[in-house]
Amino acid sequence: MSDNANIDDRYVVGVDYGTLSGRAVVVRVSDGAELGTAEHAYRHGVIDATLPATGETLPPDWALQDPDDYREVLKNAVPAALAAAGVPADRVVGIGTDFTACTFVPALRDGTPLCELPELRSRKHAYPKLWKHHAAQAHADRINALAHERKEPWIARYGGKISSEWQFAKALQVLEEDPEIFQRTERWIEAADWIIWQLCGQETRNVCTAGYKGIFQDGRYPSQEYLTALHPDFTSIVDKLDHPQSPLGDRAGGLTAEAAAWTGLPEGIAVAIGNVDAHVTSPAAQAIAPGQLVLIMGTSTCHVMNGETVAEVPGMCGVVYGGITAGMWGFEAGQSGVGDIFAWYVEHGVPAEYKALAEERGIGAHTLLSELAAEQPVGAHGLVALDWWNGNRSLLVDHELSGVLIGQTLATRAPDIYRALLESTAFGTRMIIEAFEEAGTPVTELVVAGGLLTNAVLMQIYADVTRRPLGLIGSAQGPALGSAIHAAVAAGCYPDVPTASAAMGSRSPHSYQPDTARADAYDKLYAEYRTLHDYFGRGGNDVLHRLRAIRNAAVSA
Amino acid sequence: MSDNANIDDRYVVGVDYGTLSGRAVVVRVSDGAELGTAEHAYRHGVIDATLPATGETLPPDWALQDPDDYREVLKNAVPAALAAAGVPADRVVGIGTDFTACTFVPALRDGTPLCELPELRSRKHAYPKLWKHHAAQAHADRINALAHERKEPWIARYGGKISSEWQFAKALQVLEEDPEIFQRTERWIEAADWIIWQLCGQETRNVCTAGYKGIFQDGRYPSQEYLTALHPDFTSIVDKLDHPQSPLGDRAGGLTAEAAAWTGLPEGIAVAIGNVDAHVTSPAAQAIAPGQLVLIMGTSTCHVMNGETVAEVPGMCGVVYGGITAGMWGFEAGQSGVGDIFAWYVEHGVPAEYKALAEERGIGAHTLLSELAAEQPVGAHGLVALDWWNGNRSLLVDHELSGVLIGQTLATRAPDIYRALLESTAFGTRMIIEAFEEAGTPVTELVVAGGLLTNAVLMQIYADVTRRPLGLIGSAQGPALGSAIHAAVAAGCYPDVPTASAAMGSRSPHSYQPDTARADAYDKLYAEYRTLHDYFGRGGNDVLHRLRAIRNAAVSA
């Protein structure tokens, strides 16, 4: 560890790879001050309608990306952030990144993505499948059914269900739909690790994605017997994945000359091991103690929390040793639609009068609706919603569920529905908290990161519904700051991530306190939410699945 | 009966009293031609927020009217219709009216409404309670519970439930909340009969409202024992109601000099016995044969149908001998929200882009959304709704239910929801049809009257969902024409209503035919509707009632 005099003039770069863009931030090592930032949008964005190379129409629920867009972030956002910070490049000592996950790249042995081979450019399965590629549900269903049938021990670590978003489901889809691409894939690699390969010129694998997205538990992948039973040709998946794994905060290597030229950073500086956008945020929020549940709230919400002991929580995304911070068990859960639902409602369900009023007052529609909604007592709207517009990631792990809204009358107005939607996501989070606690993992505090933390009405609802104090991350770009913290550790400026987090992260603790009267009132609505959750989500009435099947048949007829 | 030469130059006036206005039409007796029409809006409209005389805030779910607004229709709309028709007043031989029901007037022995007494002008219970006054549910609940406890035979005639909208629930509310008003009420009278009193100067009572709204069955009102058990002072209700009853189409009396001066019509012409807007429409639609279910579709839907024998249909509004046409059993059912729900959605749930597009194309928002919705195959929206935004009149007779919408995703758009709402009302009608048929009363044809018949998309959905041919009334003002038909009978121009209906009514039979493929597809969605209907409406999960109670407590806290 360097002394303070030194680190006061040392800097690290964090790069956060999101769904539509990458964002770089230049951070001072000594105190985490964010001195400059820049964003670069992916030229191809999310490829979900047609394949650019051929114009081929993609099937429903597909979502691909073009990996060269990731390199472009390094070439554009990093120099721009550096310029904005006014920091000389030679004072930068490390770079760290975080990525959406599971975003899964089929590549050659040298890291070349298959989609960059001219002869495979026209093959849709050659492209990275983005996290929200949802066309492998049938494959996930088989993975899960077989795991339970064979009583595979690892399935409990994932709450009983492997998601269709994850590596094995996506790879099995490739094998069955385009076996040649599967065979030609020499390395299946998370984008989180692929980008590190681009930076330091050698393959590394982080424990986080291997554990959460890759079914790597207790030192091994699923057995050959299991994989053979799934599909005789699927056993080679393990060879294509396998590699020594590195703890988060380790140094992956030194920045290559090529990557130094892209970024304008000094050759040879530390490149941190890859990481995931949600998990990397905990140290940025100074929230890595057991019981501190970090909610990264944006279009969707990821919940991450450290625990001292392993617990198998039904319906969780996963629990991975070292998955958030080395030496602790990292728990992950999630809600697949949060800000997305509010945005959907404002765009597709709110009449013009509210938008006109918001414009007149010079505020956004979300702000206006939140303020109007806040005026009413708990329960005055008479509504309850299930927040499944984009399926349910935890506890049900079911992307074929859909939204429910009950209690509308002719007197129901837009702020009523808006508030019911805000509340429904808080109820969803409370379900997750209760599942943690029922499995013996207490949750004592909520710490919110992500774009939605600026909505004070929403934050108060979360505090009231969960009866827990709620703190806020200090940074507007938590993942990028978290990546920078890992870069500082990889560069040797701090001995470990917790120490770096204490120095560079920030959090306003207890920004919101639960109100007892409102919490009591919410208990009644939550009880209704819970009953409907089980009725529609746990087999009481499988109507949402039948409606999805009817819809799919009608649309494809 | 007069000969044709005579009736070709004779005319009758029909006056339809709706919720917000009265409409008069001048009709030629020989063929039902509508020669002139005029509408007059009630000055006080629906009194549901504050009492005009005092500014007092009315409790939730109240709905009153000012009876002088009804007289104003006679003074304004009738002369205007006459002028528009260009018919000399002396050729008018009769006047008939129809009214919303149960709209219930507390009056003195001479017909003076209590609210017109200066000393009672400030008392809210002195005013007529409009049909949609929904604040007497607790009273209706007690009426029903006691009827079942005592096994009262009449309760089955009302499908097992007396509505909170009807006479006994409304009067019991007055007795318990303002006993002085109850005591001072010498005559409790339907507005349908009260307006006849204004026209001919003497009290009459029609069999229709006495039967459907007043628990008059087999020649008597509920017993004194029953009423005493309900409330010791409630027995006098029967004295305040009792009066010889007249069949529909009878002459109530001659037009008084005063009413002749109001209307510009000749003194002494026939005034027909009072009638109800829904029931009077059947003869106007030439749909009084058993099996012809008439749907009067507007803000709500009334279903009326004649049968040759009595049947006790669970959840029906009522069955009354002579209730639609003398000599037959008249069945009534209803849906308390139909066009109201569509209007609510367009006003409060449709984003600006659709209204802009409708304006650009010079069509209404309903037309645009219907056209867009019609483009999709059955089930493509993935949605099912329960049409309970305004409660459920049949089969559940429960005004404290509320709406349900399930299946929304981030891809759901306004035309999807609009279509699901249209379909939900068709499913509600199918529930009613099946209840009729299960009780041994076949339904062979739907005949639609009312404002919604112009929506071809909606009509086709009804034909498909119910698998029945659907005809349309020929008149745009069915109730007023029906009142005119009754006036012609009262004036002696025809021997009875069926004969007058054949000459003066009109209908386009089989305007829509069900499509087998779509009907098959709808069977699947209807099965889901039915399951949800029973779950939310028949005790599977009483959440809608609890949400209503939570809402009421929150709002009044």
pLDDT tens digits, one per residue of B335-357: 999 999 999 999 999 999 999 99
Q: Closest chain A residue to B386 measured between Cα atoms?
A: A406
Chain B residues in contact with A381 (beta carbon < 8 A): 551
Residue numbers in A near B535 (CB within 8 A): 535, 541
CB–CB contact B554 A390 (8 Å): no
CB B32 within 8 A of CB B16: no
Whether the pLDDT of residue B286 is over 70: the answer is yes
Tokens of A178: 């385009």
| Residue whose C-alpha is closest to residue B419's, from B317, B346, B363, B351 | B346
DSSP A233-252: TGGGHHHHH---EE-TT-EE
pLDDT in tens, B385-402: 999 999 999 999 888 899
Mean pLDDT of chain B: 96
Task: Specify the DSSP element, H or E, that contains A165.
Answer: none
Tokens matching residue B10: 């004779």
Which candidate in B406, B416, B531 is best for mutational testing of the A interface (most A CBs within 10 A)? B406
Residue B238, pLDDT > 60, answer: yes
Please, what is the Cα angle at A88 between A82 and A94, to 5 degrees? Answer: 70
Q: Which of A382, A412, A532 sits opposite B550 (nearest CB)?
A: A382
**Which segments within B270-419 are labelled E, that is strand?**
270-272, 292-297, 301-307, 318-321, 329-335, 384-386, 403-408
Interchain pair A406, B376: CB under 8 A: no
pLDDT 10s digits, B398-425:
888 999 999 999 999 999 999 999 999 9
Q: With the CA atoms of B449, B455, B456 and B461 taken in that order, what torsion angle do they form, in degrees rounded to the nearest 10? A: -80
Q: What is the pLDDT of residue B4?
A: 43
Interval B472-488 mean pLDDT: 97
Buried-state track B131-170, b at ≥16 Cβ within 10 A, e below 16: bbbbbbbebbbbbbebbeeeebebbbbbbbbbbbbbbbbb
d(CA A378, CA B550): 9
Q: Cβ contacts of residue A148 below 8 Å, gap of 6+?
A: A155, A160
Angle, alpha carbons A253-A255-A257 (nearest 5°) = 135
Contacts of A425 in chain B (CB under 8 A): none
Cα–Cα distance list, A111 to A183, A476, A493, B191 (Å)? 15, 33, 30, 84
Residue of A nearest to B384 (CA): A547
> How do strand B104-107 and strand B187-190 relate by DSSP bridges?
antiparallel
Angle of helix B365-374 relative to helix B456-466, nearest 10 degrees?
40
Cβ-defined contact of A541 to B532 (cutoff 8 Å): yes
Average pLDDT over residues B314-322: 91
C-alpha distances in Å from residue A306, one per residue of A300, A321, A327, A450? 20, 9, 10, 19
DSSP string computed for B326-351: TTSEEEEEEES-SHHHHHHHHHHT--
Residue in B377, B406, B553 nearest the CB of A544: B406
Instruction: Please report the pLDDT score of residue A5 as a whole number.
Output: 44
Strand order in B34-41's β-sheet?
B34-41, B21-28, B11-17, B92-99, B270-272, B251-254
Task: Give contacts of B544 with chain A, Cβ < 8 Å.
Answer: 406-407
The model's pTM: 0.91
Q: How far is CA A349 from the centre of its chain?
A: 27
Residue B3 clears pLDDT 50, i.e. is over it: no
pLDDT at position B126, please? 98
CB contact set of B266 (below 8 Å; sequence gap of 6+)? B89, B90, B92, B255, B260
Angle at B291 between CA B289 and CA B292, to 5 degrees: 65
Of B404, B409, B528, the CB nearest to A402: B409
Residue B6 pLDDT greater than 70, yes or no: no
Q: Report the C-alpha gap between A36 and A481 in whole angstroms.
A: 11
Average pLDDT over residues B524-550: 97
Q: Are B62 and B150 in contact (CB under 8 A)?
A: no
ipTM attached to this prediction:
0.91
| Best CA proximity match to A18, nearest among A249, A276, A213 | A276
pLDDT at B2 over 70: no
Q: What is the pLDDT of residues A167-191, one digit of tens each?
A: 999 999 999 999 999 999 999 999 9
pLDDT in tens, B157-211: 998 999 999 999 999 999 999 999 999 999 999 999 999 999 999 999 999 999 9
Residues in chain B with CB shorter than 8 Å from the CB of A352 are 351-352, 355
Nearest CA in chain B to A557: B377
Contact B16, B477 (CB under 8 A): yes
pLDDT at B307 over 90: yes
Mean pLDDT, rounded, for B426-431: 98
Distances (CA, A) of B127 to A131, B115, B242, B387: 64, 5, 20, 31
Burial of B252 (0-12, 13-18, 19+ CB in 10 A): buried
Cα–Cα distance for residue pair B479/B34, rounded to 1 Å: 12
SS3 state of residue A41: strand
Whether A524 contacts B550, CB under 8 Å = yes
**Which tops the pLDDT comparison, B8 or B144?**
B144
Q: Which residues of A touch B339 (CB under 8 A)?
A: none
Query: Residue B189 is inside which H or E element, if any?
Result: strand B187-190
| A341 to chain B: closest CA residue | B410
Residues of A in contact with B550 (CB under 8 A): 379, 382, 521, 524-525
The label of the residue with tokens 């109100």 reads A515
Least confident span in B99-103, B144-148, B309-313, B411-415: B309-313
Whether the CB-CB separation of B305 and B294 falls below 8 Å is answered with yes
- Is the distance from CB of A414 to CB of A399 less than 8 angstroms? no
Is the per-residue pLDDT at B57 higher than 70?
A: yes
CB-based burial label for A44 (10 Å; 0-12, 13-18, 19+): middle
Contact B440, B307 (CB under 8 A): no
Neighbours of A500 (CB within 10 A): 28
DSSP conformation class of B392: B
Q: How far is it, in rounded angstroms, from Cα A364 to Cα A81?
A: 28
CA distance A206 to chain B (A): 33
| pLDDT less than 50: residues of chain A | 1-5
Which of B349, B531, B548 shows the shortest C-beta gap to A351? B349
A369 CB contacts (<8 Å, ≥6 apart)?
A346, A350, A354, A414, A415, A418, A419
Residue B434 pLDDT exceeds 90: yes
What's the confidence (pLDDT) of residue A280? 97
Is the CB of B347 less than 8 angstroms away from the CB of A351?
Answer: yes
